[in-house]
Structure 1
């Protein structure tokens, strides 16, 4: 093999383990999940696609969309404010390093452990709940057990949405050059003019891209919702679980495959838009 050819193959060989991982644990399961929705006892069929238009499925998708959109919007706004405050600190300062490290950890803190933390803190017999009820006479569950229903997902989701926003949006805020503000001031512009004509337009692609990433993160979340909501299947991941398990122990893999197809379509559209926005944002971060 010529030396030039071998040099070209070395990077490809380095990516081979990652490509194998993606193939075995992402591509193959995705194809099998989708294929299960098109094959039944009679072979290939498109009849199950009609389940995507059923009232139950549409309600589950709507619930997933509004919970994901609400937590993404709140997480993006709160996280952007934190990024603006952090950008004013020295990049190598202890406070900024501590917040960066905490955000990296908390953005990955989810699933059953996060659900347990909220149940132990603000659950029906949680530490904060008992303190408020016994000492201050405030019953946060007077109107129902909201933590174990669909609205109860908002606070746990925000717990990892805000740190994720800090991680993804802080580089864009830090990339704002002081020279741009000085140039606007030299030309007689005010601080408001700088933000509306320079700062916000530059940050808009990164903010919208981060917002889409947060939406995708919440839309695909399963373990936290499954640990908190034990009854019912209000969102799509829980409906897929219900289809696979079944009340009588007999799962319906075809229905689960169709639901997975719907989720993949939504996630593909969101991530394609995210890629376009982040490509535009990267031009100002060089």
Structure 2
């Protein structure tokens, strides 16, 4: 009979079969991770450091808080308010409409054609932005768009009577909602799928009603993921740039367009780093939103493990 040597075990009692000493990643693991780390460092970490350092420097490279002080004055502060207003409005519209659409497909056949089509379409439309999205709306409801000309010729209705709303905040709200709703479907669907049938059955066996179930079981479970998705939609709209840049050709009503103006246009003497201060302000706002989202997701994870 041949003897089999016992496998080496870690101090915690588990068998160690992969990785280096003390659980360190192997050379192969580092070889795979290095390209990603280099990419993230070049296009994420390095620009963030430049923005962070430049926000506290004047035109001569000396330390200053003047750039940050400018964020709370004049057109710059108004741009932040409009960006927050636009992001909050589109996040609420996207979250409510997306949640209703998600509920409609979640209560249906999990393997049905409708669910597969909606989920696949949401995955595509959530990433459909920038110049193609702006062009699609211009071709549809622009000054000479298909729908605009049809309503004007057939019903005498002018969508732009006295206002170029498509190229202002109302138009941005409509366009942003186009990709906010599909994103909500993708994010919120796992939360609805996580509602276990046993919870509803237990509620019914104890004499509870549908209101009781949603008041004490479904509502408390779905509220954190709904709020988390709402914050994700807010951050998504707040940081969107390409769609607004392609649609709004004049003026800078929101912060991303303000940053574009400071980086590509003429800059007032002494405000060379104001664009970086604006970028830092955006980083702070998005970081707060995503930080609260992480806390909400942790609360959801506790429910899932129970």
Q: Given the two structures, how large is their TM-score scaled by the length of structure 1?
A: 0.94
1:169 matches 2:196:
no
2: distance between equivalents of 1:192 and 1:3? 52
Matches within 5 A, 1:178-189: 178-189=197-208
Aligned length: 285
Q: 1:69 aligns with which of 85, 88, 91?
A: 88
Q: Which has the larger radius of gyration?
A: 2
Q: More helix per residue: 1 or 2? A: 1
Deviation at 1:54, TM superposition (A): 1.1
The worse-fitting range, judged by mean Cα deviation, of 270-279 and 40-49 is: 40-49
2: distance between equivalents of 1:227 and 1:253? 25
- For structure 2, the 5+ residue unaligned runs are 1-17
Instruction: Give yes or no for contact 1:36–1:253 (8 Å, CA) kept in 2.
Output: no
Aligned to 1:267: 286
Q: Cα 1:248–1:5, aligned 2, differ >3 Å: closer, same or farther?
A: closer
Q: Cα 1:76–1:251, aligned 2, differ >3 Å: closer, same or farther?
A: farther
1: distance between equivalents of 2:199 and 2:212? 11
CA RMSD of aligned residues (A): 2.0
Q: 2:120 aligns with which of 60, 81, 101?
A: 101
The worse-fitting range, judged by mean Cα deviation, of 62-71 and 10-19 is: 10-19
Deviation at 1:249, TM superposition (A): 11
1: distance between equivalents of 2:67 and 2:282? 15
Q: 1:20 aligns with which of 29, 38, 45?
A: 38
Aligned to 1:5: 21
Q: 2:273 aligns with which of 254, 259, 272?
A: 254
Deviation at 1:6, TM superposition (A): 8.9
Deviation at 1:31, TM superposition (A): 1.1
Q: Given the two structures, how large is their TM-score scaled by the length of structure 2?
A: 0.88
2: distance between equivalents of 1:218 and 1:26? 19
Instruction: Give yes or no for contact 2:67–2:271 (8 Å, CA) kept in 1.
Output: no
The worse-fitting range, judged by mean Cα deviation, of 4-13 and 54-63 is: 4-13
- For structure 1, the 5+ residue unaligned runs are none
Deviation at 1:280, TM superposition (A): 1.4
Aligned to 1:115: 134
